[in-house]
Structure 1
Amino acid sequence: MQTSHRTARTAGPLFLLTFVSAIAGAALYAPLLTDPDYVTGSGADTRVLLGAVCELVLIIANIGTAVVLFPVLRRHSETAAVGYVAARIMECALIAVGILSVLTVVTLRQTAGADEYLPVARALVALHGWTFLLGPGFVVGIGNGLLLGFLMYRSHLVPRPMALFGLIGGPLMSLSGLAVLFGAYEQSSVPSALATLPEIIWEASLGIYLTVVGFRRPRPVRAFSPTGNVDAGA
């Protein structure tokens, strides 16, 4: 029980760190992502590089949540727990591609800065946008939302009403990502924000709950012994 308590108190701050690093990274990237002529201008390269560092911290925190929680979650469904880890890794791979695209724009500005590189720079910014949509905008809904919500709901490690935000909000967020992909509305639109809100509530409340309270007493894992009796241990 002490091990599970330490796990919760480690995972909680990591979840909160993902929020801080993601928001900081997006804010620091703003000059590059919003200025279509960034590569030919004076630039804000140091700010953008700090944004890249924030997203590297985000990758570490994302994988950290999966690795730390896995030993506890696998007791309740190893398949779902492995799926959660895989989703986190996939999300981080897409974030890493986004980081590389942004850093390449910085390199183009510093070494070239000519008008003929504008289409390339804009294409790289568009690539970053797609990685954000498919990573934090789609894969997160499956991994952090549906799979983690299912595991927390099944295990009773957190209050079930809280876990429902993940079970419902995750698929809703992924469906919204598909809607953006097919042009139903913009990623920064009101419908997208409303579809993302339950997932945000889920992740924020989970981080705070695990940090302050820790895990609830887990539901016993029931297994059948060779004699046909039910073993309520493990």
Structure 2
Amino acid sequence: MGSTRRTAIVAGVLFLVTEVAAIGGLALYRPVLHDTGYVLGSGADTQVFLGALCEFVLALAVTGTGAALYPVLRKRNEGAAIGYVCGRLLEAAVIVVGIINVLSVVTLRRQAEGAASADGSSLVTAGQALVAFHDWTFLFGPNFVLGANTLVLAGLMYTSRLIPRWIAVLGLVGGTMICASATAVLFGVYEQVSAAGSLAALPVFAWEVTLAVRLLAKGFDAGADAA
């Protein structure tokens, strides 16, 4: 097995890991993100910790995709390849900041549980502020930055013909739609976690899964620099 084929397999596995970890993290975070009184309740701390672990795996896999693909991408366009690696690092960093904020809510709940005279309204306000911080990191990391990274990678794949162009076009559409959706959320057109937001995220999800399957099954196209 050649080094390029190994790169394709590693990148394909990592893209699948990002999808599973992202969905798992969002589902497991549900109690802390949607319960405004979480800091005053009994909590679902173990579930939240598992969600944080999923998100940490997500951050590692996001970084890994950039590192794995760099040797192949730099032969086509070194500047864009470096930009993609840096973009993935930024995306992972923003995800980690979001993890810290969610875990801080758990810490706040445990401190309130052990305090004899805690100000409930102040604790709820502090918890909501931390959740809001997480929501903003989610908007800018796995939405804006993800969209930009997708456009860079799909553009490179399209021009170099490393994969069939229809797959690259799916990435270009997905990156554009997730950025447009994030902009709509930023200006209050609809909520981040909503039917509209989920529909806008489907093309980029389809792109990453399709790309992963392609890389695992067949790798990069031979003679990619031709034409």
Fold match (TM-score > 0.5)? yes
Structure 2 CA distance, aligned partners of 1:142 and 1:34?
28
- The CA distance in 1 between the partners of 2:162 and 2:3, in whole Å, is 14
Is residue 202 from structure 1 mapped to residue 207 from structure 2 by the alignment? Answer: yes
Number of positions where the alignment pairs a residue of Structure 1 with one of Structure 2: 221
Is residue 156–residue 217 contact of structure 1 (8 Å, CA) maintained in 2? no
Trace 1:115-126 onto structure 2 (pairs within 5 A).
115=120, 116-126=122-132
Which position in structure 1 is the counterpart of 2:59?
59
**Equivalent residues in 2 for 1:167-182 (5 A)?**
167-182=172-187
SS at match of 1:127: helix
> What is the match of residue 216 of structure 2?
211
Distance 1:163 1:214 in 2: 14
Letter of the structure 1 residue corresponding to residue 7 of structure 2? T
Q: Deviations over 1:42-101 (max 9, x none)?
A: 001011011111111111111001001001001111111111111111111110110000
Q: Map 1:1-234 onto structure 2 (within 5 A).
A: 2-113=2-113, 114=118, 115=120, 116-143=122-149, 145-220=150-225
Match of 1:232 in 2: none
Q: For the Cα contact (< 8 Å) 1:92–1:135, is it kept in 2?
A: yes
1:221 is displaced (CA, Å) by 7.3
Deviation at 1:190, TM superposition (A): 3.1
Flag the 1:109–1:160 CA change in 2: closer, same or farther, 3 A: same
Is the CA contact (8 Å cut-off) linking 2:19 and 2:205 kept in structure 1? Answer: no
Q: Deviations over 1:135-158 (max 9, x none)?
A: 111110000x20000111112111
Unaligned runs of 5+ in 2: none
SS of the residue corresponding to residue 42 of structure 2 reads coil
Q: Please report the TM-score for the alignment, with normalisation by the length of structure 1.
A: 0.90
Instruction: Give the CA RMSD over aligned residues.
Output: 1.5
What residue identity is the alignment partner of 2:188?
A: G
Q: In the aligned structure 2, how far is the partner of 1:196 from the partner of 1:117? A: 33
Alpha-carbon separation, structure 2, partners of 1:86 and 1:164: 23
| Structure 2 CA distance for aligned equivalents of residues 171 and 45 of structure 1 | 36
Q: 1:29 to 1:190 in 2, by over 3 A?
A: closer
Post-superposition, which runs of at least 4 consecutive aligned residues in structure 1 deviate over 6 A? none
Distance in 1 (CA, whole Å) between partners of 2:108 and 2:199 is 37
Identity of aligned residues (%): 52
SS at match of 2:27: helix
Whole-angstrom CA distance in 2 between matches of 1:58 and 1:81: 21
